[in-house]
Structure 1
Amino acid sequence: MPAQSVAQAEEEVKIIPDVVYGHKFGMALTFDVFQPEKPNGAGVLFMVSGGWYSRWTEPQNMLSWFKPLLDSGFTVFCIRHGSSPKFKIPEVVEDVRRSVRFIRLHAKEYGVDPNRLGVWGGSAGGHLSLILGTTSDQGEPDAKDKVLQQSDRVAAVAAYYPPTDLREFVEETSPYYQRFPALQFDKELADDFSPLLQVTPDDSPTLLIHGDQDKLVPISHSENIMQQFKEKNVPAELLVIEKAAHGFKGDDQTRASQAVVEWFQKHLQGQSK
């Protein structure tokens, strides 16, 4: 993104950095908010997660990544979770659920409709997005914490090259188990954190984008859950990027990003469920 475009984007987008949505082990869980000049009332939560590591980045450095959504009027929430290797997937999922609940509770403050929230991520972030899309709940009405009283349901999901079945990954003999410490949790819980096994007819509309040359997360992960979405009549699409590996670049990235914008325009704009 040219320097002039970045400067212009900074002027047009309001950034609220490091909003605290919870605490654990004496540390804050945070997200950044990117508010466009002309918001459309819908919000998209981006899962900052690669290998279930969640790293902080200067918010201004994320502007080019979010620009297509911001240009279309979406308010973007850049969500960080408790990171691997300290935290495992069950704890990570608890964090991202809380982020949705927190944003829903405070939606008016951010100028978004609490029923028009989408979620998007790539790889581990795609996995977390699918978890939210397939296993949401209505919250706990009697909880003392007002955040926990809120639903963590999202209205639409977009996921790049997501792992959808963790059962093999959590075996100690799996190379994934050794490479990604977040997978080192009780394997008896693997079903609960495998979106492939959690698909039901009331799941959120879901866009899957996967390269057919992905060696890290084979395209079969998206193809298999796409079949489940079809069988359960969940609105879903699979965009296959030919000759693309894990991580999109250049024209592939542009194509994928545009597909995400169009998906959220279709399922979030002008809708209130």
Structure 2
Amino acid sequence: MAAIEREPPSSIEGSSPNRPQMFHRISDNAIDESSDADSDFVKLQKTISKERREARESPQARLQRAFPFTFHPNIRPLSTSDYESCIALENAAFPDPEHRATPEKFLYRLSTCPELSLGVLCTVVPDKAKNWTIETLDAAKPVETDRPNGAKSVLVAHIVSTRCAGDTITDKDMDYPKDWRIRRGRSADVGHQESGRTVAMHSLAVAPKLHGCGIGQMIAKAYLQQMKDAGVADRVALICQDYLVSYYERLGFKCIGKSPAQFGGGGWHDMVIDLAKYEVKVGKTPS
């Protein structure tokens, strides 16, 4: 089950309220086709106008508007110390509470198989961030203890997974053993299967403020390459709602069909990618 960036609204949160965007919109379209201007010149001006509009809506431009400071992503595996940040991000990224992992599931997954998780974090210095905020800021940990500038490492995207025995994800894979704290590594019928050769991607979440900035594609590509290089599995599987099928297909996943999983009310589709055939695709960033 995975959440991903939605199409950003026309007004991007985090942009400067003093930015003269209306001036740009007017000037970019101020071409009078009824004038005697040469048609080639009009076409050129239209092309330039289109390129300017696309530049303003590019992932890079959106990212610049979303942050009042330089964004330097730090991609690393997650641990139980990131537990509270993962919960805050999950709650923000999944509007439907039934589609979220519970706090206990996060603790179980980050404790049992932390090597199957990945996070994108950024360093936030309070003095430079001004009034900037994000859902995971309060749960962020200091970069260093007693660091003079009070910098924090803030989670902005994560992938959290387990292993499963089958080629696709079932309700048992989405579950977890309720006595996991005292099992001490003993296998269970539900949850993580240590000998499984399929990575079950349970959560791909991006902070809503950063939707449309390419963060989801960045962490997904990094994760798939990491799983392939590590040789820990033959494939990565996930379940998603129908409106996200095309998104994951652009990342290289194949839709197997409707999933029998009833987690969160059902309505899922099985998506699988063969790691042996996976190659990073270079192209337009999905929105």
TM-score, with length taken from structure 2: 0.26
Higher relative contact order (CA 8 A, sep 6+): 2
The structure that has the greater radius of gyration is 2
TM-score, with length taken from structure 1: 0.27
